[in-house]
Structure 1
Amino acid sequence: MNIGQALKEAGRVATGMARQVPVVGAVFDRNDRIDLNGKVVFVTGAARGIGAEIARQAIAKGACVALVGRTLGPLEKLAAELGDNAAAFKADVADYDALAEAAEATIERFGGIDVVVANAGIAPPPDTLLTIDPKEFERGIDIDLMGQWRTIRATLPSIVKRQGHVVVVSSIYAFFNGALNSPYAASKAAIEQLTRALRVELAHYGATAGVVYPGFIQTDMAEQTFAIDHIDEARKALPAMFTDPIPVEDIVRAIITGIERRSPRVAAPWWVLPMLQLRGVVTNLMDESMVHNAALSKAIERAESKKQHDRG
């Protein structure tokens, strides 16, 4: 590489990094933004929560949306609500063949797939590594990590062909300590790495990929998890800024903007991106503060005692 090429490469790298800076990044926006009007968006876990709201906001932008999930009834109800630009397809992310069939059906119905949102996931039982059922741990990894991989792989040929964009919904648990939530946290950290690799592998096709890092969101899954006594106790042992849920509409607006900008990172609420930038320092401080948090240790002890008591 000669000096001229090296300078050009350095300029591209600097511009790419500048795009990731909040507010300032918009100045360095890509010139190949995605106009969602007329585009086809494939969303897993679309029956409720983040997935359903992505469908609503994408439809409002003029997109066609494939609603994908395990249970057809709620998907068909949402499709009827959204109109002719939405279609429901039954596919469990645990089943690659079903996802491939849903992708083919989407292409047949709408002509292709321009954007994929790998959103489907579960919250495994909030147990420690000592007490969790091994089958539940492995199921969490299978859905929250392998399910995202299957979604990506089943739809990738169309993304490559149409120079589209892949969105993978991770979590702040990609860098938060996963105490009482280890399979979920491990999966979210793993899919961050999966998507980073994917972004590089797609670059020469003109296609892109990005990771979403939501904080706690006002969804059914979050409400059910926080309703568990020892999880509520653990939550109250941590700063409210980190654990207060935000409206689902807020994170989805950020996701839609991220799709349009082909952003490599999308996050909400406001404090998540700065923590991502400082994760080397933040994660060490977080781990040490949690290790020495007496209220959190008590909640973990109660969780293990209850589980062992239930097992007799």
Structure 2
Amino acid sequence: MIDDRVAIVTGAARGIGAATARELSQAGYQVVAVDACLGDESHQLPGVNYPLGTEADLREIERYGNGKIHSSVCDVRDAEALALIVQSAVERFGRLDVAVAAAAVISGGKPMWNTPNEEFATLIDIDLLGVWNLAQACIPSMISSSEPQSCRFIAIASAAGSHGLLHLAGYSAVKHGVIGLIKGIAADLQGSGVSACAISPGSTRTAMLDASAQIYNLDSAEEFVSSNLLNRLLEPSDIAQAIKFCCSQAGSALNGSVLDLSGGFRT
């Protein structure tokens, strides 16, 4: 067990973010769980046609942590608010070891040339700029820590970050961008001791996958089982356990890398 390490996880109300907060808290981390908690207000986001996590979801994650998960409502598009949360965490716990950028939305369903610019802008602002904002807020504290070699910045990309998927050009573009950003961050971190990597999940049992099923007019997300060689959907816990490994001492070797957790992606 690790009793003094501290992590911040965005997109923590549901899905992979929630599973990561739970996994790290079980490993002994103090976890700052961040989510915008837009819930049914997701209709304010152009192209996002499914409900997002709620404050009730985030509180449930906090209760699960038995005092090791500390919830905070914040939109990753708000760089100043995010920086204040990071500052508060460092002041409270005296350190920040891990940051996991899991906040994201999906939209699509049309060819790229028929996709409104405002829908693409939403994807950029949350899925890509949200990662940028978290990195800018967290990495300086990691570099200046007493143990920078134990610090990790981890971003959730997607199998869409390595493949072009039908009617998901915008989503694919921003996830390619996340991978490029992580590679650039890793280059900038050279000599600091801090490492950065990306995780690229395939079809994982989340609300986002349910939304993907709607985009493709499928009866349920279970139809995505054919998208990998395991012939099953991945679980958020599968991804969270891999993230925990990335946070370990051995995980530093993944610096600048993209960990493919697709189960053997196939189209």
Same fold, judged at TM 0.5 (above): yes
Q: Compute the TM-score of the two structures, normalised by the length of structure 1.
A: 0.70
Is 1:209 the equivalent of 2:200?
A: no
2:152 pairs, out of 140, 165, 174, with 165
Q: Trace 1:53-202 onto structure 2 (pairs within 5 A).
A: 53-71=19-37, 72-162=55-145, 163=148, 164-202=151-189
| Structure number with higher helix proportion | 1
For 1:52, the equivalent position in structure 2 comes to: 18
Q: C-alpha distance in 2, partners of 1:171/1:108?
A: 33
Q: C-alpha distance in 2, partners of 1:271/1:65?
A: 31
CA contact (8 A) 1:159 1:166 kept: no
For 1:32, the equivalent position in structure 2 comes to: none
Q: Displacement of 1:36 after TM fit? A: 4.5
Q: Displacement of 1:237 after TM fit? A: 10
For 1:258, the equivalent position in structure 2 comes to: 246
Count matched residues.
239
CA, structure 1 residues 237+65, in 2 after alignment: closer, same or farther (shift >3 Å)? closer
Listed as ranges, the gaps of 5+ residues in structure 2 are 38-54
Q: Displacement of 1:46 after TM fit? A: 0.4
1:269-303 Cα deviation digits (max 9, x unpaired): 4425xx9xxxxxxxxxx7xxxxxxxxxxxxxxxxx
For the pair shown, the structure with the greater C-alpha radius of gyration is 1
223-232 vs 204-213, greater mean Cα deviation: 223-232
Q: Displacement of 1:148 after TM fit? A: 0.8
241-250 vs 97-106, greater mean Cα deviation: 241-250
CA contact (8 A) 2:111 2:169 kept: yes
1:110-131 Cα deviation digits (max 9, x unpaired): 2221000011000023222132
Task: Name the SS of the counterpart of 2:60 in structure 1.
Answer: helix
For 1:300, the equivalent position in structure 2 comes to: none
Q: Displacement of 1:138 after TM fit? A: 1.2
Considering Cα pairs closer than 8 Å and 6+ residues apart, tell me whether 1 or 2 has the greater RCO: 2
Q: C-alpha distance in 1, partners of 2:31/2:199?
A: 19
CA contact (8 A) 1:90 1:102 kept: no
CA contact (8 A) 1:36 1:58 kept: no
CA, structure 1 residues 76+239, in 2 after alignment: closer, same or farther (shift >3 Å)? closer
Q: Displacement of 1:97 after TM fit? A: 0.7
CA, structure 1 residues 231+183, in 2 after alignment: closer, same or farther (shift >3 Å)? farther
CA, structure 1 residues 129+257, in 2 after alignment: closer, same or farther (shift >3 Å)? same
1:267 pairs, out of 230, 254, 260, with 260
Q: C-alpha distance in 2, partners of 1:241/1:232?
A: 18
Q: C-alpha distance in 2, partners of 1:73/1:245?
A: 26
Identity over aligned pairs, percent: 26
Q: Displacement of 1:182 after TM fit? A: 1.1
CA contact (8 A) 2:109 2:216 kept: no
Structure 1: which amino acid aligns with 2:156? V
CA, structure 1 residues 133+244, in 2 after alignment: closer, same or farther (shift >3 Å)? farther
Task: Name the SS of the counterpart of 1:124 in structure 2.
Answer: coil
CA, structure 1 residues 166+128, in 2 after alignment: closer, same or farther (shift >3 Å)? same
For 2:49, the equivalent position in structure 1 comes to: none
Q: C-alpha distance in 2, partners of 1:178/1:146?
A: 21
Q: C-alpha distance in 2, partners of 1:129/1:178?
A: 11
